Amino acid sequence: MKEKLLAEFSKIFGGDGQAELFFSPGRVNLIGEHTDYNGGHVFPCALTIGTYGAVRKREDRKLRLYSMNFSGTGIWETSLDELTPCPEDRWTNYPKGVLWALQEKGYEVPFGFDLLVYGNIPNGSGLSSSASLEVLIGTIAKKFYGLDMLTMEEIAKIGQYSENHYNGVNCGIMDQFAVAMGKKNHAIYLDTATLEYEYAPLELGDARIVIACSNKKRGLADSAYNTRRSECETALQELQQVVKVDTLGDLSEEEFEQYKDAIKDPVRVRRARHAVYENQRTRKAAEALKKGDLAEFGRLMNESHVSLRDDYEVTGIELDTLAETAWEQPGVIGSRMTGAGFGGCTVSIVKNDAIDDFIENVGRKYESVIGYAADFYVVEAGDGARRLSK
């Protein structure tokens, strides 16, 4: 892979292999969905698949950007003095946004670079290829501009800031945090309200993480996401009339049941119920994993999917077919949708000796119901973004 990237870099930008190599992972959220903007917990891990960058400093302020995943549009040439978002600039709005955000936050970005990008995670599928790309740029900037004070956590925040303000995507902190702070064979139990976090060993024994990508584009996702956010905000305000809480994540299940009548609309009750119960499930799931109780972890994953399907209503036939078919397969410990929903992926924990049949059976059923194929990735929890030795 490294040789291939360096060779491709030389082909595109000239020179002979003086580029430096960086890698930034994708991430999958194991449990804790739609809790991040409700002051709750999430439980993602970084993956061993992600986004590679081969990059070389320039003497001037030019940026030359090329993605092997979008090779048809060739080299994009721009400059550090032209950092304004523009839809025609397509994917380059992500790297440009991070360089803009760094400067907004007072970091000096004195010179440009030539960058070749290659991602082996699917784009737009909820494995956070966008956060992966942002944190890749932050990691390159830290090294190139000597920004030693810039911690990986700060890089995550800058990535989120750029996605929010440069790319206009209202995302929480989970994606960039998981990508920047990932640790091999660990998941991150993260409190999105405080950014307190803890690494939990992801000891899956004779099982692995299998991601099934629905290949359904998330057409509805953005507007539905905003609706869900505002439904939860309204439900919180209603609850605040009767109980002192800052977020839905502050409530236990019992407290929610006690106070839920303050929410004046049955749909909003279900939305808030998901936020509260999902947060508690995430806490229990992290504990189960600590105790090595994988069966309980899987059960909570399944419950999470049901709650996202019935209470939060963000699954859809594609993700339901993948998860519900997974539940019927032997050797499946747990399976649920992951990411914002409506399209994107499911995450399953499957016993090694059942993985081949799992992929075949779930794949066949999916294609017969939906009419096109799903893609499967057997993945591992990997380290966060970093420079690679050549």
Q: Which residue positions form the known binding site?
A: 33-36, 67, 124-130, 163, 225
Using an 8 Å Cβ cutoff, are 54 and 135 in contact?
no
**Residue 125 engages Mg ion in binding (rule: CB under 5 A):** no
Residues placed in the known binding site for Mg(2+): 130, 163
Q: Given the rule CB under 5 A, which of 124-132, 206-214, 234-242, 305-313 is the region that contacts Mg ion? A: 124-132
| Residue 126 near which of ligand ADP, Mg ion, none (CB within 5-8 Å, type-dependent) | ligand ADP
The 3-state DSSP class for residue 335 equals strand
Which residue's CB is nearer to ligand ADP, number 70 or number 197?
Answer: 70
Distances (CA, A) of 379 to 31, 117, 129, 362: 16, 21, 15, 17
The encoded tokens of residue 172 equal 């929480």
Q: Mask 237-276, x = binds ligand ADP (CB under 6 A)? A: ----------------------------------------
For 54-77, b/e burial (b = at least 16 CB within 10 A) is: bbbebeeebbbbbbbbbeeeeebe
**Residue 124 engages ligand ADP in binding (rule: CB under 6 A):** yes
Residues placed in the known binding site for ATP: 67, 124-130
Using an 8 Å Cβ cutoff, are 367 and 373 in contact?
yes
Q: Which of 24, 35, 78, 128 is the binder for ligand ADP (CB under 6 A)?
A: 128
Q: Which of 35, 130, 139, 214 is the binder for Mg ion (CB under 5 A)?
A: 130
For 79-93, b/e burial (b = at least 16 CB within 10 A) is: ebeebeeeeebebbb
Q: Which of 24, 29, 125, 282 is the binder for ligand ADP (CB under 6 A)?
A: 125
Establish whether 114 is a catalytic residue: no
**Residue 130 engages ligand ADP in binding (rule: CB under 6 A):** yes
Please list every residue from 92 through 121 that binds ligand ADP, using CB under 6 A.
94, 117, 119
Which residue's CB is nearer to ligand ADP, number 29 or number 129?
Answer: 129
Long-range contacts of 81-88 (CB under 8 A, 24+ apart): 85/166, 85/167, 85/168
Which residue's CB is nearer to ligand ADP, number 229 or number 290?
Answer: 229
Which residue's CB is nearer to ligand ADP, number 127 or number 381?
Answer: 127
Which pairing describes strands 20-29 and 113-119: parallel, antiparallel, or unpaired? unpaired
Tell the smallest beta-carbon distance from residue 201 to ligand ADP (Å). Answer: 26
Which residue's CB is nearer to ligand ADP, number 94 or number 144?
Answer: 94
H helices present in the chain, as ranges: 2-13, 93-104, 129-144, 152-165, 174-181, 221-240, 253-259, 266-290, 294-310, 317-327, 355-370
Which residue's CB is nearer to ligand ADP, number 133 or number 300?
Answer: 133
| Residue 119 near which of ligand ADP, Mg ion, none (CB within 5-8 Å, type-dependent) | ligand ADP
Please list every residue from 37 through 66 that binds ligand ADP, using CB under 6 A.
51
- Residue 371: how many other CB atoms lie within 10 Å: 7
**Residue 282 engages ligand ADP in binding (rule: CB under 6 A):** no
Distances (CA, A) of 22 to 154, 176, 182, 206: 18, 16, 15, 31
By CB under 6 A, the count of residues binding ligand ADP is 17
The encoded tokens of residue 125 equal 């599928």
Please pick, among 16, 89, 114, 175, the residue that the annotation labels catalytic: 175
Residue 215 per-residue DSSP state: -
Binding site for ligand ADP (CB under 6 A): 51, 67, 69-70, 91, 94, 117, 119, 123-130, 133
Catalytic residues: 175
